[in-house]
């Protein structure tokens, strides 16, 4: 009999996620304010970080550690569903609406 993989329904608080990522809660707030991640909320209004959000945050943290700007990280997140070139090209190619001052990753 084949066993189906279990999907974790565990949720984490912002403080727990910050500890897991070795980041500050203010960093997580900043990433959310800047549109890098959207965190679902529970009925009481508290944020409920799940495994999906935790994975996204790990990617964001890795890219920030590699000195990519928030704008450069936001670019592929907006384009992720569009048929486009590879992630390296997306990260390093500004779009027409971006101000030259924001482009510091080149």
Given a contact cutoff of 8 angstroms between Cβ atoms, the answer to whether 49 and 56 are in contact is no
Q: Retrieve residue 15's tokens.
A: 């403080």
Output the pTM of the full model: 0.69
Whether residue 74 sits in one domain with residue 43: no
- What are the CB-based long-range contacts (under 8 Å, 24+) for 65-69? 67/105, 68/105, 69/102, 69/103, 69/104, 69/105
**What percent of the chain lies above the pLDDT cut of 70?**
66
Given a contact cutoff of 8 angstroms between Cβ atoms, the answer to whether 105 and 92 are in contact is yes
pLDDT score at 40: 92
pLDDT score at 71: 86
Whether residue 76 sits in one domain with residue 61: no
Whether residue 25 sits in one domain with residue 61: yes
As a whole number, the mean pLDDT across the chain is: 79
The Cα–Cα gap between 53 and 32 comes to 11
The CATH number assigned to the domain holding 59 equals 1.10.1660.10
Whether residue 36 sits in one domain with residue 75: no
Handedness of CA 87, 89, 93, 95 (dihedral sign): negative
Whether residue 45 sits in one domain with residue 75: no
The Cα–Cα gap between 21 and 86 comes to 26
Number of structural domains in the chain: 2
The Cα–Cα gap between 72 and 105 comes to 7
Residue 78 or 49, more confident: 49
Domain coverage including residue 98: 67-106
Whether residue 77 sits in one domain with residue 94: yes
Whether residue 75 sits in one domain with residue 26: no
Whether residue 103 sits in one domain with residue 81: yes
Whether residue 53 sits in one domain with residue 18: yes
């Amino acid at each position: 009999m084949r066993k189906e993989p279990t999907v974790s329904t565990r949720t984490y608080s912002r403080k727990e996620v910050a500890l897991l990522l070795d980041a500050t809660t203010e960093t997580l707030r900043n990433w959310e304010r800047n549109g890098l991640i959207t965190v679902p909320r529970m009925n009481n209004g508290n944020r409920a970080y799940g495994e999906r959000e935790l994975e996204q945050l790990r990617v964001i943290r890795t890219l920030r550690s590699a000195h990519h700007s928030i704008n450069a990280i936001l670019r592929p997140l907006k384009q992720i569903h569009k048929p486009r070139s590879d992630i390296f090209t997306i990260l390093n190619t500004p779009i027409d609406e971006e101000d030259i001052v924001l482009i510091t990753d080149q």
